Structure 1
C-alpha cells in the first residue's frame, strides 16, 4: 500500500493575480481522487507545484508524512495537459525508452509497454509512429508513458479532454485498476458530469480556493437538496408554489428541484395528472449542482464548468 500525497496551505501568485489561495489537498491510496473546477481555477498550477515544477509562495507538499523530495517526484507518473511525445518515434519503442529512463531494463520495459498498449486498445499500433495516430490514440499513449514504470503516484491533468466515449472508457478502466492496486491517483478535470461517476473523493477549486472537498457520496448525502427526474417536459404552471421548480429540461425529460420537506411522491402524482410518466427517480444533487451551490454562482459558471 502506497503512502499518502498531501499539500498544505498552498498559495501562489503570478504578478497581481492570485492563482491559489491556501489550498489543502489529500490524496490517499486506493481511492480515485478528482481535482475539479472550471478552467482557470488553479488545477494545473497545483499539479505543477506537486511535482516541483513551480515553487509555491507558501505551503508544503508531503509524501508519506515527510516533505516530498526530488527523488520521490522523479519516481511518480505525470500526464501533463500539454501533451508531449516524440512524434517520429514508433509507439512501442517510445514507451520502452521511457521505461529505461526510469531505470527498467530493456526486456522489462518492452513487456510493460506491450501490456499497456494491449490494455489501452492499441496492441496493433505499437509499430506505428506517434504522428500517424489519431488525437485520442496519442492521448492513450501519453497515459501509457506516465504509467510504464508502474509509479506509486499517478497524476493526470485533464486526461479525458477531447476523447470519444470509447477512449474515456479505456482510460477510466486503467485509472480504476491503478487505484485497486493500492496506489495513489489524482486527476484534474473541468468536465464535472463526465467524471462524476469515477470520483470517490474530490477537491473542487474555484478562483484558486477550495469550495468543496471530501468523499463525494457523503457530500451528496449531506446536501439538503433533492431532485425528481421524470421523462416528460414539465411545464412551468404544473407545480404548486412551494413544492418545487424545474431545474433543467433536456431531451430525456425534466429535473425538478424539490422544496425542503416536500414529499417527492406527491410531486410525482401532480406531474402524472398532466402527462404519462414511464421513468422517474429521486436523486441527490449532481456534482455540477453541488459546485453551483458551493460557489454561489449563476448558470453561466455551470456552463463554463461543463464546457
Structure 2
C-alpha cells in the first residue's frame, strides 16, 4: 500500500504553503519530513489525511484517496495536543479507539499493554490534565497507535519528551515498522531522522529541496567531515584548497572537505608535526546537508 503525492499544491489566498510536491512513500518504511517552521510539513500531513484539500495534484494510498472508509487504518498524532483534559486516560483512549472500530475490552487490554511498556501503568485512571506535558504526549501517541494502523503519521512525536522517553518512543516506532506499519513523521531533531529513516524529504518554503533515500542523499552530497585530535595547532589546514569549513575544538579541529582525496593530502601534511590522537573521515551529517540546502541550522 504505497502512499503517493503527485504534483500537489496548496494555497491559502496568495500564500503558497506547498508547491508542486511529488513523493512516493514506500510501504512499511519510516519516511522523515524535515524543514523549518512554515516549510509545509504539517499542511502536507493534513492533505494526506484529507483534512485539507489540495488546489492541484492528487494524493493516493494504495491507489485510492484517504477518506472515512479507510480512516480505521490510519493513525495520526498532531503537533498540537488534542486530548480532553478533564477525561481520564482510559476514557479518552477507549473513546478514540472505538471510533476506529475497536471494542472496549480490546482497547483496554491494548492500553494496559502500552502503559506498562511506557512505564506508567498508574496513569490508567488519571485525568489527562494531571499529567506532565511529556506524559500527555505518550498518551497521545498511544491513542494514535492503539488500533494498530497500517499508516501512521506523526507530527513532531518527540516534542516535550526527555531523553529516556524519547528512546521509549523510538523503540515503539521501530517495532511498529517491523510489524508492517508505514510511518511518516516530522522532527526538528536531525539525529532522530538520521537514526530512524531510510527515506526523507527536506522542505523549504513549501518545496522539496532534497528527497530520496538517505544513503543516496549523503553519497550525492559529496562533502565529507574530517575529525582530527592532535597535540599541535591545525590552523594551517584552514586555508587549503578543498577545505569548505574549519572549526577549532578543544582537542583539535572539525573540518568539512570537498572529497575523500583531500583527507589523504591533509594526513600527509600532518605527518611529522607531532602526536595525532584521532584522524577520522565521516559522511556529512544530515544537519550539514540541511544547512547547505536551506541555509540555517534547525536545532
TM-score (norm: length of structure 1)? 0.88
Pick the aligned partner of 1:185 from 178, 183, 186: 183
Q: How does 1:62-77 map to 2 (within 5 A)?
A: 62-77=60-75
In 1, are the aligned partners of 2:224 and 2:260 still within 8 Å (CA)?
A: no
Counterpart CA distance in 2 for 1:231 and 1:194 is: 27
Measured against aligned partners, the alpha-carbon deviations of 1:84-134 in whole angstroms (never above 9, x if no partner) come to 111122223322222122221111111111111122232232232211111
Runs of 5+ consecutive residues of structure 1 not aligned to the other structure: none
| CA displacement at 1:38 relative to structure 2 | 1.2
What does residue 199 of structure 2 align with? 201
What does residue 19 of structure 2 align with? 21
Counterpart CA distance in 2 for 1:43 and 1:69 is: 20
| CA displacement at 1:240 relative to structure 2 | 5.4
| CA displacement at 1:174 relative to structure 2 | 1.0
Measured against aligned partners, the alpha-carbon deviations of 1:202-238 in whole angstroms (never above 9, x if no partner) come to 0111110011111101211222211112346965334
What does residue 92 of structure 2 align with? 94
Displacement over 6 Å in runs of 4+:
none
Counterpart CA distance in 2 for 1:140 and 1:33 is: 21
| CA displacement at 1:270 relative to structure 2 | 4.2
In 2, are the aligned partners of 1:95 and 1:145 still within 8 Å (CA)?
A: yes
What does residue 138 of structure 1 align with? 136
Mean CA deviation greater in 26-35 or 55-64 = 26-35
Pick the aligned partner of 1:173 from 171, 174, 198: 171
Pick the aligned partner of 1:154 from 146, 152, 155: 152
Counterpart CA distance in 1 for 2:106 and 2:252 is: 52
| CA displacement at 1:69 relative to structure 2 | 3.0
Classify 1:118/1:166 alpha carbon distance in 2 versus 1 (closer, same or farther; 3 Å). Answer: same
What does residue 254 of structure 1 align with? 253
| CA displacement at 1:74 relative to structure 2 | 4.6
In 2, are the aligned partners of 1:29 and 1:179 still within 8 Å (CA)?
A: no
Aligned residues: 298
Q: How does 1:256-271 map to 2 (within 5 A)?
A: 256-260=255-259, 262-268=261-267, 270=269
In 2, are the aligned partners of 1:239 and 1:267 still within 8 Å (CA)?
A: no
TM-score (norm: length of structure 2)? 0.91
Which secondary structure does the structure 1 equivalent of 2:277 belong to? coil
Which secondary structure does the structure 2 equivalent of 1:70 belong to? coil
Measured against aligned partners, the alpha-carbon deviations of 1:257-276 in whole angstroms (never above 9, x if no partner) come to 12335342442454576664
